[in-house]
Amino acid sequence: MNRDQLDQIKNEFKEKISHIENIKDLEELRVQFLGKKGVITQFMKGMGKLSKEERPIVGKKANEVRKEIQDSLDHIKGDIEAKILESRLEREKIDVTLPGKPCQCGAHHPLNIVTEELEDIFLGMGFSIVSGPEIEWVKYNFDDLNMPKDHSSRDKQESFYYQDDIVLRTQTSPVQVRTMLSQKPPLRIISPGRVYRSDEIDATHSPVFHQMEGLVIDKGIAMSDLKGTMDLFAKKLFGNKTKTKFRPHQFYFTEPSAEMDVTCFKCGGEGCPVCDYSGWVELLGCGMVHPNVLRACGIDPEEYSGFAFGLGLDRIALTKYGISDLRLLFENDVRFLSQFK
């Protein structure tokens, strides 16, 4: 037992490890040299036979050899693992251009998308969303809204009736009446919903369509507030550069009344087919709530004032997406519906 023997062990190890190619052989080699019954272990056990002087020297050398072997094993192990990983990665390469496994995904109806967009804008301005029955009292749909008794919109040619005093609502305004009758001012509400008029269906008309109306009642509400609120709404809907124009108009429900145009969202006011080359698109009707309406709903026009507005949701959806025919909205062809994801 001497240092030469250690050199011999070392050389033997070097010779063997140079042939190792996999983890299993490497482990066997480790056992052969460093295991409990391994060469080095055996050697170290035999060191007790050495003289006192020799023991520390040979011991030191033996430890060095053991460490050398250990390091070499670790190093080779690292190399082999790296090779294995590399070959695995190579083996596991896939064609990333193959299609993915289908994951179903539906979509909102475009009318709903528009409705929610508008709702969000008004929610942000402190409005609440309310709804009401579509089959409605004539009183709420016409009388309380200051609609003249002989107005043609009350005719059977223009509105659908269930009974003489019950009509399919022709506007969402009765919701405003209901709200004013049931709640005290201050009020800020919008009422999106379905309305009915006796029109034959074509590219721009439908007996069933959708409106959103809004109502604000408070002390000291002025027409300038109506203008400011509607202008802000238009800017939120179509962008900050949008301009608005208020034209005088007439509605029975409001006095004064106005129609609001916005700069064409397609061309920004330059003039294009969407705006009929005028640069403006009509967006909504609005006005200061008529005192007769306030009174019919139990609100004192001396104390409170307010404004109301209404717009057609279907038409906004059509213009927003450039859909040319209203009937497409009601048809529900998958090829149509799947475009609004």
Residues 273-332 contacting other proteins, CB under 8 A: 288, 290-291, 305, 329-332
Q: Which two tokens stand for residue 166?
A: 């019950």
Using the rule CB under 8 A, give the single segment among 20-28, 32-40, 60-68, 156-164 that binds other proteins.
156-164
Query: Segment 182-221, which members bind other proteins (CB under 8 A)?
Result: 186, 188, 194, 196, 198, 200, 207-208, 216, 218-221
Interface pick for other proteins out of 74, 81, 155, 325 (rule CB under 8 A): 155
**Residues with Cβ within 8 Å of residue 84, at least 6 apart in sequence:** 23
Q: Is 255 annotated as a binding residue?
A: yes
Using the rule CB under 8 A, give the single segment among 43-51, 60-68, 89-97, 116-124 that binds other proteins.
116-124
Nearest approach, Cβ of residue 196 and other proteins (Å): 8
Nearest approach, Cβ of residue 198 and other proteins (Å): 6
Interface pick for other proteins out of 51, 90, 150, 273 (rule CB under 8 A): 150
Nearest approach, Cβ of residue 203 and other proteins (Å): 16
Interface pick for other proteins out of 18, 51, 97, 224 (rule CB under 8 A): 224
Contact track, other proteins, 40-79, x by CB under 8 A: ----------------------------------------
**Torsion-angle region of 288 (φ positive above 0: left; ψ -120 to 50: alpha; else: beta):** beta
**How many chain residues interact with other proteins (CB under 8 A)?**
78
β partners of residue 134 = none
Residue 135 contacts other proteins per CB under 8 A: yes
Nearest approach, Cβ of residue 70 and other proteins (Å): 41
Q: Which two tokens stand for residue 22?
A: 């996999």
Nearest approach, Cβ of residue 111 and other proteins (Å): 6
Query: Segment 225-254, which members bind other proteins (CB under 8 A)?
Result: 225, 227-229, 231-232, 245-250
Decide if 215 contacts 289 (C-beta within 8 A).
yes
Instruction: In whole angstroms, give the CA distance from residue 17 to residue 32.
Output: 11
Instruction: In whole angstroms, give the CA distance from residue 256 to residue 252.
Output: 10
Determine the angle formed by the axes of helices 223-238 and 110-124, rounding to 10 degrees: 130
Find, among 216, 297, 289, the residue nearest to 256 by Cα. Answer: 289
Our CB check for other proteins shows the closer of 95 and 302 to be: 302
Q: Which two tokens stand for residue 50?
A: 């050495």
Decide if 113 contacts 145 (C-beta within 8 A).
no
Our CB check for other proteins shows the closer of 136 and 144 to be: 136
Find, among 192, 145, 202, the residue nearest to 311 by Cα. Answer: 192
Cis preceding linkage at 207, omega within 30 = no
β partners of residue 308 = 215, 287
Binding residues are: 255
Q: What residues are designated binding site for Mg(2+)?
A: 255
